[in-house]
Protein backbone atom coordinates (compact mmCIF):
# COMPACT_ATOMS: atom_id res chain seq x y z
CA UNK A 1 0.00 0.00 0.00
CA UNK A 2 1.18 3.51 -0.81
CA UNK A 3 1.47 5.75 2.23
CA UNK A 4 0.82 9.34 1.23
CA UNK A 5 1.30 10.56 4.80
CA UNK A 6 -2.43 10.95 5.30
CA UNK A 7 -2.96 7.32 6.27
CA UNK A 8 -1.07 4.81 8.38
CA UNK A 9 0.07 2.70 5.43
CA UNK A 10 -0.94 -0.61 7.00
CA UNK A 11 0.00 -3.76 5.06
CA UNK A 12 -3.54 -5.15 4.78
CA UNK A 13 -7.08 -4.77 6.05
CA UNK A 14 -6.85 -6.11 9.64
CA UNK A 15 -9.86 -8.48 9.43
CA UNK A 16 -8.09 -10.19 6.52
CA UNK A 17 -4.91 -10.56 8.57
CA UNK A 18 -6.99 -12.58 11.01
CA UNK A 19 -9.46 -14.13 8.58
CA UNK A 20 -7.14 -15.64 5.99
CA UNK A 21 -4.90 -17.53 8.46
CA UNK A 22 -8.00 -18.58 10.40
CA UNK A 23 -9.68 -20.02 7.30
CA UNK A 24 -6.49 -21.73 6.08
CA UNK A 25 -5.66 -23.18 9.49
CA UNK A 26 -9.23 -24.43 9.99
CA UNK A 27 -9.07 -26.16 6.60
CA UNK A 28 -5.63 -27.62 7.30
CA UNK A 29 -6.73 -28.80 10.73
CA UNK A 30 -9.78 -30.47 9.21
CA UNK A 31 -7.68 -32.50 6.77
CA UNK A 32 -4.55 -33.12 8.82
CA UNK A 33 -5.29 -33.32 12.52
CA UNK A 34 -7.38 -35.79 14.43
CA UNK A 35 -6.98 -33.84 17.67
CA UNK A 36 -9.95 -31.84 18.86
CA UNK A 37 -10.51 -29.51 21.73
CA UNK A 38 -13.10 -30.76 24.23
CA UNK A 39 -16.79 -30.10 23.48
CA UNK A 40 -16.87 -27.69 26.42
CA UNK A 41 -14.66 -25.36 24.37
CA UNK A 42 -17.81 -24.29 22.52
CA UNK A 43 -19.20 -22.80 25.73
CA UNK A 44 -15.98 -20.88 26.18
CA UNK A 45 -16.23 -19.72 22.56
CA UNK A 46 -19.56 -18.05 23.30
CA UNK A 47 -17.85 -16.05 26.03
CA UNK A 48 -15.11 -14.95 23.61
CA UNK A 49 -17.72 -13.83 21.06
CA UNK A 50 -19.70 -11.94 23.71
CA UNK A 51 -16.54 -10.25 24.96
CA UNK A 52 -15.65 -9.21 21.41
CA UNK A 53 -19.10 -7.72 20.87
CA UNK A 54 -18.86 -5.85 24.16
CA UNK A 55 -15.69 -4.21 22.86
CA UNK A 56 -16.68 -3.58 19.23
CA UNK A 57 -19.97 -1.79 19.87
CA UNK A 58 -18.63 0.95 22.18
CA UNK A 59 -15.43 1.25 20.09
CA UNK A 60 -17.35 1.96 16.90
CA UNK A 61 -19.52 4.38 18.88
CA UNK A 62 -16.35 6.27 19.90
CA UNK A 63 -15.22 6.48 16.28
CA UNK A 64 -18.60 7.89 15.25
CA UNK A 65 -18.67 10.33 18.16
CA UNK A 66 -15.20 11.59 17.20
CA UNK A 67 -16.16 11.81 13.53
CA UNK A 68 -13.16 9.81 12.35
CA UNK A 69 -12.84 6.73 10.17
CA UNK A 70 -12.64 3.17 11.47
CA UNK A 71 -10.98 2.07 8.22
CA UNK A 72 -7.17 2.20 8.58
CA UNK A 73 -6.88 3.10 4.88
CA UNK A 74 -8.61 6.41 5.53
CA UNK A 75 -7.23 9.50 7.22
CA UNK A 76 -7.56 9.69 11.00
CA UNK A 77 -9.01 13.05 11.97
CA UNK A 78 -9.27 12.67 15.75
CA UNK A 79 -7.42 10.99 18.59
CA UNK A 80 -9.86 8.77 20.49
CA UNK A 81 -9.16 8.27 24.19
CA UNK A 82 -12.59 7.44 25.62
CA UNK A 83 -14.61 4.26 26.02
CA UNK A 84 -12.56 1.09 25.39
CA UNK A 85 -9.68 3.29 24.15
CA UNK A 86 -9.10 4.31 27.77
CA UNK A 87 -8.02 0.71 28.49
CA UNK A 88 -6.26 -0.35 25.29
CA UNK A 89 -5.02 1.58 22.27
CA UNK A 90 -6.32 -1.20 20.02
CA UNK A 91 -9.72 -2.38 21.23
CA UNK A 92 -10.89 -3.45 17.77
CA UNK A 93 -7.77 -5.58 17.31
CA UNK A 94 -8.31 -7.09 20.75
CA UNK A 95 -11.86 -7.90 19.64
CA UNK A 96 -10.60 -9.50 16.42
CA UNK A 97 -8.24 -11.62 18.51
CA UNK A 98 -11.15 -12.72 20.69
CA UNK A 99 -13.22 -13.61 17.61
CA UNK A 100 -10.28 -15.56 16.14
CA UNK A 101 -9.88 -17.53 19.39
CA UNK A 102 -13.63 -17.97 19.68
CA UNK A 103 -13.78 -19.43 16.17
CA UNK A 104 -11.03 -21.92 17.00
CA UNK A 105 -12.82 -22.90 20.20
CA UNK A 106 -16.25 -23.12 18.53
CA UNK A 107 -14.88 -25.45 15.85
CA UNK A 108 -12.76 -27.31 18.42
CA UNK A 109 -9.68 -26.91 16.19
CA UNK A 110 -6.11 -26.55 17.45
CA UNK A 111 -4.19 -25.32 14.37
CA UNK A 112 -5.64 -21.80 14.50
CA UNK A 113 -4.43 -21.38 18.08
CA UNK A 114 -0.95 -22.53 17.11
CA UNK A 115 -0.92 -19.94 14.32
CA UNK A 116 -2.16 -17.06 16.52
CA UNK A 117 1.35 -15.84 17.53
CA UNK A 118 2.19 -15.31 13.84
CA UNK A 119 -1.07 -13.41 13.33
CA UNK A 120 -0.33 -11.18 16.32
CA UNK A 121 3.24 -10.57 15.13
CA UNK A 122 1.88 -9.55 11.72
CA UNK A 123 -0.63 -7.22 13.37
CA UNK A 124 2.04 -5.64 15.56
CA UNK A 125 4.59 -5.11 12.80
CA UNK A 126 2.40 -4.59 9.74
CA UNK A 127 -0.47 -2.64 11.23
CA UNK A 128 -0.08 -1.35 14.78
CA UNK A 129 3.54 -0.13 14.51
CA UNK A 130 2.62 1.75 11.32
CA UNK A 131 -0.53 3.21 12.84
CA UNK A 132 1.36 4.35 15.91
CA UNK A 133 4.06 6.10 13.86
CA UNK A 134 1.32 7.79 11.83
CA UNK A 135 -0.62 8.88 14.90
CA UNK A 136 2.53 10.23 16.55
CA UNK A 137 3.30 12.31 13.45
CA UNK A 138 -0.28 13.51 13.25
CA UNK A 139 -1.04 14.22 16.92
CA UNK A 140 2.44 14.68 18.44
CA UNK A 141 2.58 15.16 22.21
CA UNK A 142 -1.10 14.36 22.70
CA UNK A 143 -0.52 10.91 21.21
CA UNK A 144 2.74 10.37 23.10
CA UNK A 145 0.95 11.18 26.37
CA UNK A 146 -1.79 8.71 25.44
CA UNK A 147 0.79 5.99 24.72
CA UNK A 148 2.31 6.48 28.18
CA UNK A 149 -1.10 6.15 29.86
CA UNK A 150 -2.73 3.34 27.89
CA UNK A 151 -1.24 -0.04 26.90
CA UNK A 152 -1.13 -1.28 23.32
CA UNK A 153 -3.00 -4.43 24.26
CA UNK A 154 -4.81 -5.10 27.56
Per-residue pLDDT at 34:
83
Quick one: average pLDDT of 21-50? Answer: 95
pLDDT in tens, 40-86: 999 999 999 999 999 999 999 999 999 999 999 999 999 999 999 99
Break the chain into its structural domains and give their ranges. Answer: 15-71+79-149
Checking if the pLDDT of 140 tops 90, the result is yes
Three-state DSSP at 121 gives helix
Quick one: average pLDDT of 87-113? Answer: 98
Per-residue pLDDT at 5:
56
Nearest to 103 by CA among 18, 17, 8, 3: 18
Widest pairwise Cα distance in the chain: 52
Checking if the pLDDT of 1 tops 60, the result is no
* DSSP conformation letters of 38-103: -TTHHHHHHHHHHHHHHHHHHHHHHHHHHT--SSTTS---S---SGGGGT-S-HHHHHHHHHHHHH
Quick one: average pLDDT of 17-41? Answer: 95
Checking if the pLDDT of 116 tops 50, the result is yes
Quick one: average pLDDT of 98-102? Answer: 98
pTM of the model: 0.94
Amino acid sequence: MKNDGETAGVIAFPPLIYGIPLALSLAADHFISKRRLPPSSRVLAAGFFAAAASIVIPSVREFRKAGTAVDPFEETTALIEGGPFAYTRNPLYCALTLVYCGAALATRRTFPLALLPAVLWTMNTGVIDREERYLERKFGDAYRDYVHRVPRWF
